[in-house]
Chain A
C-alpha cells in the first residue's frame, strides 16, 4: 500500500510538472504580439496618414482629424510597437497648430516607414 501510494504520488508529481510546463508555454507563447496585432498597428498607422492627407485637402474638419489621430496614437501605443504612437501624436499636434508644412513633412515620413 505504501508502494502504490508512493507510485501514485510520483505520477501525480509528474502530471503536475507537465501541467505547469504546458501552462508556462501557453503563457509565454500567448505573451507575444499576434499577427492580428501587427495588422492592426499597420492599419492605424495608415489611417493616420489617410486622415492627415484628407485634412490637408480640406475634406475633413479639424475636430474630426484631431480625434481620429488621437485615437490612432492611443491604439498604436497599446500595440506591439508602442513607440509608433509618438510620430502620430506629433502629427496631431502639428494639425492642431494648423501647421500644414509640418503635417506634410510628418505624413511623408510616416508613409515612408
Chain B
C-alpha cells in the first residue's frame, strides 16, 4: 500500500511539475500559428523523455551514482568541462525564462511591470530552497501545479476532436509557408520537453530519496505515467491555443496574448486560471532548475551536496544555487522579452542535448555501473535518433528563425 501510494505520488508530482515556461510558450505559439500540426513534435519529445527519465532513475538505482558524478568519474573532468559549461549556460537562460514567467504572471495580475518583480520572486525562490527539504520542494510545488490540468479541461470543453488530434500526433506535415518558423518551433518544443535538467534532476532526486532495487518497477511506472500525463497537459495548451487564438488570427509573441486563451472555456475565471497556472508552473520549474544546476556543479567538482542537508553542511552547493538565482534575476531585470528568451533557450537546449545525452547513453551500456540493468538496443536507438535529429534541426532552424525575424 505504501509503495502504491509512493508510485501514485510520483506520477502526480510528475504531472503537476511537467508544465513550465518552455512548454507554455512553445505550445501556445505552435497552436496559435499552426493549429494541431506540431503535436507530433510533442509526441516525439515525450517518447524520448520517458526513455531518458526511466534510464535516469534506473541508473541511480543500479549504480548508486548520479549521472553527472558518473560522467566525471568515467570520462574524467576534462571531458566534462565543455558539456558542463554549455549546460550551465543554457540552464541559466532557462532559469531566467522561468523566473521571467513568474514575474510576467504577477505583472498580468497586478499591472506592475515584470522587471520590478524579479528581485522579490528571486528572494522567495532562494528562501524556499534555503529552508525546505527536497520533498517539500519537489512535491509541494508539483501538487500546486495540478492547477494546470485546467488546460485539459478547457480542451475538452472546447470540443477538441480526439480523432483529429490522434492523426496530428503521428503525422508530421510541413505547412506551405512559414516553414523556417515551423521547424524552429518544432525544435523548441522538443527542447522544452527533453530539457537535460529534467533527467539530471531526476537521478539526483533518486539518490536523495535513497532509491534501491525495489524501486525499479515504480521508477518505470513513474517515468512513463508521469511524463505521459504531464505531456497531455502540454498538448492541451497547444490544442486550446489552436481552438481559441488561431481562429482569431492571433499569433502568440507575448504572454499578454497567451492570457486570452482560456477565456472561451472559462469566462472571467479563464484569465485567473492562466495567471495561476503560469506562476505556479514557472515557480516550480525554477526551483527544480536551481537545484539541478547546483547538483550539476557540486557533482562535477566533487562538493558535498543535498537539498536535505542544512546549508552549512553543503555550503558550496547552497552558494551555487544562490549565485544562479541572482544571475537569472539580473537577466530578467534587463527587460528582455521573457517569451522570446524562453523560445530561444528551448531551441538552444535541443542543440546541446547530444552533449549530455550521449555520454549518458554510454554509461547506460556500461556493466561496471549498470550490472545486469544495461540498456536494450531499442532504447539506445530511440534515444540516440531523436536527440541527434533534434540537434540537427536546431542547428539548421535557429539561423533561419533569426534571419526571418529581422
B-binding residues in A (CB < 8 A): 30, 34-36, 39-40, 42-44, 46-47, 50-51, 54, 57-61, 63-64, 66-68, 71, 75
Chain A residue numbers with a CB within 8 Å of B109 are 64
Chain A residue numbers with a CB within 8 Å of B256 are 47, 51, 64, 67-68, 71
Q: Which residue of B lies closest to A30 (CB)?
A: B406
- Interface segment among B130-138, B142-150, B231-239, B245-253: the answer is B245-253
Instruction: Give the number of chain B interface residues (Cβ < 8 Å).
Output: 26
Q: Tell me whether B268 is interfacial, beta carbon within 8 Å.
A: yes
Contact B268 A59 (CB under 8 A): yes
- Please report the C-alpha to C-alpha distance between residue A71 and residue B107 in the assembled complex, in whole angstroms: 13
Contact A43 B251 (CB under 8 A): yes
- Please report the C-alpha to C-alpha distance between residue A64 and residue B404 in the assembled complex, in whole angstroms: 30
Pick the contact of A59: B107, B178, B253, B267 (CB < 8 A).
Answer: B267
Contact A51 B260 (CB under 8 A): yes
Contact B404 A36 (CB under 8 A): yes
Q: Which residue of A lies closest to B244 (CB)?
A: A50
Contact A71 B254 (CB under 8 A): yes
Known: A40-B251, A66-B111. A60 touches B257 (CB 8 A): no
Contact B249 A43 (CB under 8 A): yes
- Please report the C-alpha to C-alpha distance between residue A47 and residue B264 in the assembled complex, in whole angstroms: 15
Q: Which residue of B lies closest to A59 (CB)?
A: B268
Pick the contact of B405: A36, A43, A67 (CB < 8 A).
Answer: A36
Q: Tell me whether B108 is interfacial, beta carbon within 8 Å.
A: yes
Chain A residue numbers with a CB within 8 Å of B249 are 42-43, 46
Q: Tell me whether B270 is interfacial, beta carbon within 8 Å.
A: yes
Q: Is the interface of A mostly helix, strand, loop or mixed?
A: helix
Listed from nearest, the 10 A-B pairs whose CB atoms lie closest are A63-B111, A43-B251, A68-B256, A46-B249, A59-B268, A60-B271, A59-B263, A47-B257, A47-B250, A46-B250
A-binding residues in B (CB < 8 A): 107-111, 177-178, 181, 248-251, 253-254, 256-257, 259-260, 263, 267-268, 270-271, 404-406
Contact B108 A64 (CB under 8 A): yes
Pick the contact of A36: B181, B263, B271 (CB < 8 A).
Answer: B181
30 A-B contacts, Cβ less than 8 Å apart? Answer: A34-B406, A35-B178, A36-B178, A36-B405, A40-B253, A42-B249, A43-B253, A43-B257, A47-B250, A47-B257, A51-B256, A54-B271, A59-B267, A59-B270, A60-B263, A60-B268, A61-B271, A63-B110, A64-B108, A64-B111, A64-B271, A66-B111, A67-B107, A67-B108, A67-B111, A67-B256, A68-B257, A71-B254, A71-B256, A75-B253
Nearest-Cβ distance from residue A28 to partner chain B, whole angstroms: 14
Chain A residue numbers with a CB within 8 Å of B181 are 36
Nearest-Cβ distance from residue A95 to partner chain B, whole angstroms: 13
- Please report the C-alpha to C-alpha distance between residue A46 and residue B244 in the assembled complex, in whole angstroms: 13
Q: Which residue of A lies closest to B256 (CB)?
A: A68
Contact B404 A54 (CB under 8 A): no
Contact A54 B260 (CB under 8 A): yes
Chain B residue numbers with a CB within 8 Å of A35 are 177-178
